[in-house]
Chain A
Amino acid sequence: DAGVIQSPRHEVTEMGQEVTLRCKPISGHNSLFWYRQTMMRGLELLIYFNNNVPIDDSGMPEDRFSAKMPNASFSTLKIQPSEPRDSAVYFCASSLGQASTGELFFGEGSRLTVL
């Protein structure tokens, strides 16, 4: 398996623009997680899905952030409108879900810079 695939790897945008980050989890994994990593706040869980259903979105910073998982092989994280403080590395991770050990498999991350 190719692992968790994220795109784009790097995104530079201007404040106010819409940003869409994409993730393809490992085939067969039932849980998908979106994390944000910054120097100040470390690794923060934004939202996670189990069997394509959002389970916990309490980490989503505000209404500007939204996430979807229309099917088992694709998820998006959208920021609209983007702000400079959204600059971070966004990681998508997947796991086997409730039947698993709990190990997370991370993608390479999407580095977002909002000017």
Chain B
Amino acid sequence: GENVEQHPSTLSVQEGDSAVIKCTYSDSASNYFPWYKQELGKRPQLIIDIRSNVGEKKDQRIAVTLNKTAKHFSLHITETQPEDSAVYFCAATFNTNAGKSTFGDGTTLTVKP
């Protein structure tokens, strides 16, 4: 089955700095890569996603890049703010499995004011 590794497990940055979280996956058939943000005590919520036919996608301060050959993808947050502090999960999904996603272990991001 699919295996997703996520690094780092914790990340602390100063407000205004950039944060980068990296994930690798094992199944070359995976074709959908979402990122979820989970605030303390809340549910995971999708913040951005990318499909395997695209190399990069950006939404305001958040961007995701995908390297299919190397089987890794990354989340980039620029101009970080304290409200970006949360746990971020990457996932790899094989669509024909009705959206079954395998999650990374999560990265706890702390943005210091």
Contact = CB atoms under 8 A, between A and B. Distances in A.
Interface of A: 30-31, 33, 42-43, 45, 48, 50, 55-56, 91, 95-98, 100-104, 106-109
Nearest to A107: B43
| Interface magnitude class on chain B | 20 to 34
Interface of B: 32, 34, 36, 42-46, 49, 89, 93, 95-106
Given A55-B98, A95-B98, A103 B49 contact: yes
A30 B105 contact: no
Contacts of B36: 104
Given A43-B89, A43-B103, A43-B106, A106 B98 contact: no
A93 B109 CA distance: 24
A80 to B, nearest CB: 26
B102 A102 contact: no
Contacts of B44: 43, 91, 104, 106
Q: Which residue, of A30, A95, A100, A102, has the highest number of chain B Cβ atoms within 10 A?
A: A102
A95 to B, nearest CB: 4
Contact of A104 (B95, B97, B99, B104): B99
A95 B45 CA distance: 13
A56 B44 CA distance: 22
